[in-house]
Amino acid sequence: KAGVTQTPRYLIKTRGQQVTLSCSPISGHRSVSWYQQTPGQGLQFLFEYFSETQRNKGNFPGRFSGRQFSNSRSEMNVSTLELGDSALYLCASRQEEGSYEQYFGPGTRLTVT
């Protein structure tokens, strides 16, 4: 099976712009989660989607949003970018049933200038 894929891998944006990141889960996985990783805060949970519905959200401002499509692919959007949004954004997928074995993608490295 192909792993979790994320596009783009690297991105440079300017403050105030918005950005959309994409994630394709492992085939058959219906749950997609997003995490932000920074040197200062570590890995932090953003949100989780299942069957096109957000069912869990971390403690991030409303500028961070996401969605999931019927084929389980997911996108996350960050509006009005700030310098502090520079981070590695990781997507993870898992099967709905059973244990929390999440499989992570390689991440998108976002730099805000």
Q: What is each CA distance from 57 to 2, 34, 65, in whole angstroms?
A: 27, 10, 10
Nearest approach, Cβ of 99 to other proteins (angstroms)?
6
What percent helix, strand, coil does the chain show, rounded to 5? 5, 55, 45
Verify binding: residue 90, other proteins, rule CB under 8 A.
Answer: yes
Query: Min. distance of Cβ 110 from other proteins in angstroms?
Result: 14
The 3-state DSSP class for residue 84 equals: helix
Residue 9-48 contact track with other proteins, rule CB under 8 A, x = bound: ------------------------x-x------xxxx--x
Q: Which is nearer to other proteins, 14 or 100 (CB)?
A: 100
Residue 102 binds to other proteins (criterion: CB under 8 A): yes
Query: Edge-to-edge strand order for the sheet containing 74-78?
Result: 5-7, 19-24, 74-78, 64-68
Contact by Cβ (8 Å): 96, 31:
yes
Query: Interface residues with other proteins (CB under 8 A)?
Result: 4, 33, 35, 42-45, 48, 55-56, 58, 88, 90, 92, 98-107
